[in-house]
Amino acid sequence: MSNLETVFNIAAVERDTGLSKDTLRVWERRYDFPKPGRDANGERVYPQEQVDKLRLIRRLLDLGQRPSKVIPSTSAELTTLLESYRATSAPGTPAVVEQELMQYVKLHRSGELLAALHQGLMKQGLQRFVAETIAPLNEAIGEAWVRGEIDIPEEHLYTEQVQNILRGAIGASTTSNGRPRILLTTFPDEYHILGLLMAEATLVPEGASCLSLGTRTPLADIQSAAVGGKFDIVGLSFSVAYPARHAIEGLVELRDALPTHIGIWAGGAALKDKQRRLPGIRVVTDLADTLTALREWRSVHST
Amino acid sequence: MSNLETVFNIAAVERDTGLSKDTLRVWERRYDFPKPGRDANGERVYPQEQVDKLRLIRRLLDLGQRPSKVIPSTSAELTTLLESYRATSAPGTPAVVEQELMQYVKLHRSGELLAALHQGLMKQGLQRFVAETIAPLNEAIGEAWVRGEIDIPEEHLYTEQVQNILRGAIGASTTSNGRPRILLTTFPDEYHILGLLMAEATLVPEGASCLSLGTRTPLADIQSAAVGGKFDIVGLSFSVAYPARHAIEGLVELRDALPTHIGIWAGGAALKDKQRRLPGIRVVTDLADTLTALREWRSVHST
DNA sequence: CGAACACGTTTGTCTAGGACAAAAATGATG
DNA sequence: CATCATTTTTGTCCTAGACAAACGTGTTCG
Q: What is the CATH number for A52? A: 1.10.1660.10
Which of A37, A61, A89 represents a domain boundary (last residue)? A89
What are the helix and strand counts (H, E) for chain A? Answer: 14, 8
Nucleotides on strand C lying under 7 Å from protein C-beta: 10-21, 23-25
Same structural domain, A121 and A57: no
- How would you classify the pairing of strands A282-284 and B37-38? unpaired
DSSP state of B132: I
Domain range for B292: 175-300
Give the nearest partner residue to B229 out of A4, A108, A191, using CB atoms: A108
Same structural domain, B218 and B296: yes
Interface contact A257-B2, CB threshold 8 A: yes
Interface contact A188-B18, CB threshold 8 A: yes
Give the nearest partner residue to A213 out of B111, B157, B212, using CB atoms: B157
Closest to A201 measured CA to CA, from A283, A113, A129, A294: A129
Same structural domain, B142 and B236: no
**pLDDT of the residue at B86:** 67
What is the maximum alpha-carbon separation in chain B?
A: 78
Q: At A69, is the pLDDT very low, low, confident or very high (cuts 50, 70, 90)?
A: very high
Q: Which CATH number do you get for residue A103?
A: 1.10.1240.10
Same structural domain, B223 and B161: no
Closest to B276 measured CA to CA, from B295, B253, B250, B248: B248
pLDDT at A93 over 60: no
- Residues B203, A57: Cα–Cα separation, whole Å: 43
Please provide residue B236's backbone torsions phi and psi, each rounded to the nearest 5 degrees.
Answer: -115, 145
Say which nucleotide is closest to residue B42, CA to C1' distance. Answer: C15
Which of A171, A206, A238 represents a domain boundary (last residue)? A171
Question: Do the beta carbons of residue B160 and residue A214 sit within 8 Å?
Answer: yes
- Residues B120, B108: Cα–Cα separation, whole Å: 19
Let me know if B276 is exposed, middle or buried by CB neighbors in 10 A (0-12, 13-18, 19+): exposed
**pLDDT of the residue at B88:** 57
User: CB contact, 8 Å: B86 with chain A?
Assistant: no
C-alpha gyration radius of chain B: 23
Interface contact A211-B152, CB threshold 8 A: no
Mark A191-224 as b/e (b = at least 16 C-beta within 10 Å): ebbbbbbbbbbbbbbeebbbbbbbbbbbbbbbbe
Q: What is the mean pLDDT of residues B51-62?
A: 89
Which residue of chain A comes nearest to B52, CA vs CA? Answer: A220
CA B14 from chain centre, in angstroms, equals: 22
Same structural domain, B189 and B224: yes
Interface contact B15-A219, CB threshold 8 A: yes
Q: Is residue A232 part of a domain?
A: yes
Q: Is residue A22 part of a domain?
A: yes
Our measurement of CA A68 to C1' D22, in angstroms, reads 15
Closest to B210 measured CA to CA, from B132, B164, B265: B265
Q: Which CATH number do you get for residue B184?
A: 3.40.50.280
Same structural domain, A53 and A19: yes
- Residues B159, B153: Cα–Cα separation, whole Å: 10
Nucleotides on strand D lying under 7 Å from protein C-beta: 9-20, 23-24
CB < 8 Å to A159, chain B: 214
Q: What is the mean pLDDT of residues B21-48?
A: 92
pLDDT at B292 over 90: yes
Total domain count, chain B: 3
Q: What is the pLDDT of residues A10-35, one digit of tens each?
A: 988 887 788 999 999 999 999 999 99
Same structural domain, B277 and B185: yes
Same structural domain, B83 and B114: no
Q: What is the mean pLDDT of residues A81-89?
A: 70
- The CA angle A286-A289-A294, to the nearest 5 degrees, is 130
User: Lowest-pLDDT range, A5-19, A249-263, B257-271?
Assistant: A5-19
Q: Is residue B2 part of a domain?
A: no
Interface of A with B in 209-228 (CB under 8 A): 209, 211-214, 216-222, 224-225, 228
Same structural domain, A181 and A206: yes
**pLDDT of the residue at B87:** 61
CA A159 from chain centre, in angstroms, equals: 11
Q: Is residue A162 part of a domain?
A: yes
- Residues B193, A105: Cα–Cα separation, whole Å: 21
Same structural domain, B238 and B210: yes
Residue nearest D18, CA–C1′ metric: B41
Q: Is residue B1 part of a domain?
A: no
CB < 8 Å to B164, chain A: 167, 170-171
Interface contact A249-B170, CB threshold 8 A: no
Interface contact B153-A187, CB threshold 8 A: no
Q: How many CA atoms lie within 13 A of B150 on its CB side?
A: 23
Same structural domain, A289 and A219: yes
DSSP secondary structure of B245-291 = HHHHHHHHHHHHHS-TTSEEEEESGGGTT-GGG-TT-EEE-SHHHHH
Coil, strand or helix: which one is A44?
strand
CB < 8 Å to B167, chain A: 163-164, 167-168
Which of B170, B191, B226 represents a domain boundary (last residue)? B170
The four Cα atoms B194, B199, B202, B203 give a dihedral, to 10 degrees, of -140
Question: Do the beta carbons of residue A78 and residue A56 sit within 8 Å?
Answer: yes
The four Cα atoms B154, B129, B180, A121 give a dihedral, to 10 degrees, of 70
Q: Is residue B77 part of a domain?
A: yes
Q: B25 CA to chain A: closest CA distance, Å?
A: 15
Same structural domain, B191 and B296: yes
- How would you classify the pairing of strands B233-237 and B263-267? parallel
- Residues A263, A286: Cα–Cα separation, whole Å: 18
Q: Is residue A2 part of a domain?
A: no
Interface of B with A in 234-253 (CB under 8 A): 253
Q: Is residue B132 part of a domain?
A: yes
Q: What is the mean pLDDT of residues B80-90?
A: 71
**pLDDT of the residue at A239:** 82
